[in-house]
Structures are given as C-alpha cells and as structure tokens.
Homo-oligomer: A and B are copies of this chain.
Amino acid sequence: MTVTHPAGTGLRPEAGAHAGLPFVPSSSRWRPLGLGEVTLDGGFWAERQELNASALIPHVERWVERMGWAGNFDAAAQGRLPGARRGREFSDSEIYKLLEAMAWEVGRTGDADLDARLRRLTARVAAAQEPDGYVNTMFGRSGQGERYSDLQWGHELYCFGHLIQAGVARARTHGDDELVQVAVRAADHVCRQFGPDGDQRVCGHPEIEVALVELYRVTGERRYLDQARAFVDRRGHGVLGDIELGATYYQDDVPVREAEVLAGHAVRALYLAAGAADVATETGDEELLGAVVSQTLATLARRTYLTGGMGAHHEGESFGVDFELPPDRSYSETCAGVASVMLNHRLLLATGDARHADAVERTLFNVVATSPAEDGQAFYYTNTLHQRVPGREVDPDVASPRAASSLRAPFFEVSCCPTNLTRTFASLGAYVASQDEAGVQLHQYAAATVRAHLAGGAVVLRVRTSYPDEGRVEVEVVEAPAGPWELTLRVPAWASGAVVRSAQGARRAEPGYVQVAGPAAGEVVVLELPVAARWTWADPRVDAVRGQVAVERGPVVMALESVDLGADVAGARVRTDVPPVDDGGQVRVPVRTVEAVDGDWPYGDAPAREVGRGAGERLVPLVPYHSWAERGPSTMRVWIPQG
C-alpha cells in the first residue's frame, strides 16, 4: 500500500495515520485499525476480497459502461446530455461507489492496473464537474430539471455523498489527487449551497451526512462537520413535504433526536443514523449519540431478521412495525445490510457494546455474503428468507428490475447493491480490530495479521482460524509491547460456553468481551467458540414464523432447499427434540415431508389433514443461507415448521 502525506487540499498531515479506514472517529471508546494495519490471510472473508478484486469490481466496471452510466459523464462533459442520458436519477452514485471500491482495493493491494482504471474513470467525472464544484448528469442543463428542483427524489446530495466517500477513500489510501480534489470541490459547493445562508432543506436520501463528517476528519475543515450537523438537525421537521409513502419514508416526520426506532426506507434510515452518530461523536453530542444508540438497539430487538437483514416491506423498501418480519416478503436489501454494518460498527467503537459487533457479524455472514453469487457475476438485491416458488434462471446478459429476480441477477436497473458490495469487501479489514491505550480488541474473526502501536510499543497479532467453519481462533502474539497491555476478544451472544485459553490457563468466557492480560510475544491465546449447529426460535410476536424453527451454526444462518429435500419445502416438518446433526459443518436435521390436501378453499373447521409423503423421517442437509440458490431454481426456507 502506498500512503503519501498529502498537501494542497487541506488534507491533514496525519491522514496517513488513518490509512485505509472508511471511518475514523476523532474520539471514541476504541480506535479502528485499517487496511494498513489489518490484512486478511485467507479464509471466508479473504476469499471474498479476492473475488471482489478478480470478479466483482471488473463485472461492475463492465456493467456501468454497458448501462451507459459512466458514459453519462462523457456526454455531460461534451454537452451531449440530456436526451442521451441513461439510467435512473441516482446512477452517478454507482460510479462513485465503484471509485470508492477501487480506491480501497488499490490501497489494499497496490494494483497498478486498477489504479490506472481508477484515474481514468476519475478523469471522466472531473471533466463533467462544473466550475463551481457541482456535478450531476441528471440536473441543471437545458432540458433537465434545475439543480435542487427535486430534493425529494432527485438524489443530488446523495450522489455527492458517495463522491465524497470515494474521495475520502482515495485520500486515506493514496493521498491528494484528482479524485480527492473533485470531492473537495463538490463538498465546498454543497457547503455554499446549503450553508447557513443558503438552501435550508435536506436531500430525500441521506448519505451526504456520513460523507461530510469523514471529509472533515480527513481535512480538519470544520465547515464540513457543521454542514453535516445542519443536515441532521434540519431533518424530521417536514422540510421535504409529504409524499404518498408518507414523510416517514425519508425520515422527515420525526427529528433524529426524538425518534425511538428506525423507520421508513431502511437504507435511508441507516445511512442517516450512521451520519448522526458521526456528527454526535465529533461534536461530543451525547444526547444525539444516545438517541441513535437506542434507536439502533430497538431496531435490533424488534425489526431485524434472523440474518441481520433489515426492511420488512417491499413497498417503500421500508422497515415494518415491531415484530412484523414476514420471511416470504423480507425485503432485507443488500444495501441495508451494508448500511447496518456501517452503523453498528460506528456504534461499537463509540460505545464498546458487543451487541453492535454481533450485528455486524450476523449481517456480514448472512446478508452481505449472501448477495453475490459464488462466481461474483450475479447478485441479490433483496434477500428473502422463504422462497415459495422456484426462482427462475436469470439471463446473465440482462439487467433486472431491482426486486423481481428470483435467482441472483447480473445487474439491476437500480443497481446500488453490487457497487455497495464492492466497496464493502475491499474495506472489510477495517471491521476486524481496534485499539485503545490499553490494548487491542478483536471484533470479527478471520485469519489475519493485525498491527497496532500502543504507548509501550508495537503489537503484532497473527490470527489463525477457519472460522466460521470451525470455532477455534488462535491468536499468536508475534510482537508485544514492553509494558502491560490487554488483548480483548469478542464472544458472540450465541457463543454460550465459549472458552479462552492462555498462559494463565483456561476459563469460560461469557458473551460480550473477554480480556487476556498482557500475553507475551510468542504466546498463543486460543478462543474456542461453540459453533455447532443449534435450533433457534423466534419471539412469539414474530407471528409469521410461529411454530417454526431455524438452524444457526456459529454466526451462520442455515437454509433448507428443495434441491436437498427432494420436494417443495412447503411440506417439510422438522423434529427438534434432538440437536441438529453437525458433522464438522455438514448440518442435517430430521425432516419428514407432508403433502397438504388441496381443496376449494384454504380454510376449514378443523386443522388441515396432512398426508405423509415418501419414506418418513430422514436426515436432510441444510446449506448456509449465504450459499443458497447456487444449484439452480429451488424453493427455500430458513424457518421450518415443527411437527
């Protein structure tokens, strides 16, 4: 990784110290460790990072050309828009998310070819930027809507947010260059346009808030933080006007400080909460931080799918009310998963509350990892927990509407998810570990090398594990500081009975965080997490899965597919008086298959007769939910009826 200490755009000299981090709070309980400090050394997430580099990013590069979304910038620069413009009003943002992904990836690997592609794509964006910093291919030209004429749906500030995040990624992995400068000019434009003397409204889609705080962190320019805070504070007072979906849709019904739970469009709500958390952290606003924490905890307790997925409504891509979590209509957008990871990671570092790390882990393994196909060439936009009819094969050559595909699709008319995955996979190392004055904390388990610098000296850890396949995590202390320090390990909430072994002996580790005092160089600390498959039941208020049970294995949610059952999963009935069979990760459960009796009317004066089918009970394999639908059309369910 090349990190230069930039000059010329107001970048802080210490930007290099934050190298490779998408999120750098200037004060928090724990300081994150970034791409320069954490490298993944194989295993579940390293494989996905490699796939991201070799398949996802090139796939997205091809598709944004093919869809004409990159070409929009050329057309804009050449004065050929608006009739020639392609894509939805927010398509510019896909280019920016791709640029952000490329920046992280170049930072991670130093790939010179990718760096050249990033520079070329940046130049196309730069060519379309207007002298005052405004850039958007959808607005402001003759024949288009005026700038900011449609804040409800126009997504202009949302697009700027992603541009600024791309610039921040480049600044933190490379230093000043054209992408950083384009982003800074855009941010300066936003501050002039929406500053204290300017337009007092907000964007229909939050995103600019997180971006501006991060740019403040990179540059030290207070006006970016002030602008982010202003956007957070203005929102929730009906400034956007009403829409058919209601002002809740874009969180303009209740101020952030007053909301009790996340509501409305899930991605909007989660980005906004992440931005508000950042503003709170930087301004020391405990009230605001407390509001975001309590909304997030309420959302985890009452509005989240077993997978960590958020968003129960297809209509409005929105949260449902408490405990309204239908598995067969779970929207659970991939981008909401990405956004939940962003939010919960922020709150984890701000508060040290392991529940947020649990949410990050669950969402990474069961939403973020579920979206891309094994070959990195197709994606889920929504992530259902119950596929009632076999999905259809999807033409790898045709973009799908966002939620209509039933198997993974190559691209979407609204294609926010693939680009969001690319930037997340490229920056995954950032979620693994953090440090404080006392020591180093490991939050997510993956084979990795972790470096930190404590007052007493450097810490270098080598984590060896095949987690989540196995629950054994070995942390070899390669280098340790001279004085006392502390190694802190997260024990997931599901890992009751975990054991930690160190030079001080073995002890039970309760869910939350466990500390190991000052292991010396050469010592190996071992955490044993009981990942064996287990039954999981839902709160009875989740009526839609009453009488049903799921299987989890470590952090991984399992799924039953018809291809394994040999019949539609509608007829599966599972027996739960014994634990699921788990042969080193090969999970099987005792299932019998029944056939419902078809009738004229699906309601009657007695519980329906069910006819046993086939050879009685057998052990049927389950697959990790993240790898379902890899064997062609199938029906699938996470929640299986008991009986």
Residues of A that sit less than 8 Å from B by CB: 244-246, 297, 300-302, 304, 306, 313-315, 320-324, 326-329, 355, 358, 386, 388-389, 401-404, 413, 493-494, 496, 534-548, 550, 570, 594, 596, 598-608, 610, 639, 641
Contacts and interface: CB of A to CB of B under 8 A. Distances in A.
A596 B538 CA distance: 11
Nearest to A303: B602
Contacts of A608: 537-540
Q: Which 5 pairs, one residue from A and one from B, show the smallest C-beta to C-beta distance?
A: A539-B602, A314-B315, A547-B547, A315-B315, A546-B547
Contacts of A402: 244
B547 A297 contact: no
Contact of A601 (B326, B327, B493): B493
A388 B603 contact: no
B603 A538 contact: yes
A600 B304 CA distance: 11
19 contacts: A244-B402, A301-B598, A301-B599, A301-B600, A302-B602, A304-B601, A306-B603, A314-B315, A321-B388, A323-B388, A326-B544, A329-B329, A494-B605, A537-B608, A540-B596, A540-B641, A541-B602, A544-B544, A546-B547
A614 to B, nearest CB: 17
B324 A329 contact: yes
A264 B540 CA distance: 31
B537 A607 contact: yes
B389 A321 contact: yes
B537 A606 contact: yes
Given A245-B401, A320-B329, 6 more contacts: A329-B329, A493-B601, A537-B606, A541-B596, A543-B641, A546-B546
A358 to B, nearest CB: 8
A324 B388 contact: yes
A389, A535, A540: which has the most chain B beta carbons within 10 Å?
A540
Contacts of A328: 320, 324, 326, 543-544
A600 B297 contact: yes
A520 to B, nearest CB: 36
Contacts of A323: 388, 570, 602
A246 B404 contact: yes
B534 A605 contact: yes
A537 B543 CA distance: 15
Contact of A641 (B301, B329, B493, B546): B546
Given A401-B246, A404-B246, A546-B547, A539 B603 contact: yes
Contacts of A403: 315
A402 B300 CA distance: 30
Nearest to A314: B315
Contacts of A604: 536-537
B550 A603 contact: yes
Nearest to A557: B603
A356 to B, nearest CB: 11
Contact of A301 (B401, B496, B545, B601): B601
Nearest to A546: B547
Contacts of A301: 598-602
Nearest to A313: B314
Contacts of A603: 306, 536-539, 550
Nearest to A388: B321
Contacts of A386: 543
A547 B607 CA distance: 9
A541 B540 CA distance: 19
A541 B637 CA distance: 12
Contact of A548 (B538, B546, B599, B601): B546
A265 B639 CA distance: 28
Contacts of A641: 540, 543, 546
Given A386-B543, A535-B605, A536-B605, A600 B326 contact: no
A493 B604 CA distance: 10
A355 B600 contact: yes
B546 A388 contact: no
Nearest to A413: B244
Contacts of A306: 603
A388 B601 contact: no
Given A321-B388, A404-B246, A603-B306, A596 B493 contact: no
A376 to B, nearest CB: 25
Nearest to A539: B602
Nearest to A609: B540
A186 to B, nearest CB: 29
B600 A300 contact: yes
Contact of A540 (B358, B537, B599, B610): B610
Nearest to A542: B602
Contacts of A548: 543, 546
Nearest to A88: B244
A92 B386 CA distance: 41
Contacts of A639: 543
Contacts of A545: 543
A246 B403 CA distance: 10
A389 B403 CA distance: 27
B542 A543 contact: no
A598, A602, A604: which has the most chain B beta carbons within 10 Å?
A602
B602 A538 contact: yes
A358 B603 CA distance: 13
Contacts of A543: 327-328, 386, 544-545, 548, 639, 641
A227 B387 CA distance: 40
Contacts of A537: 603-608
A304 to B, nearest CB: 8
Nearest to A493: B601
Contacts of A413: 244
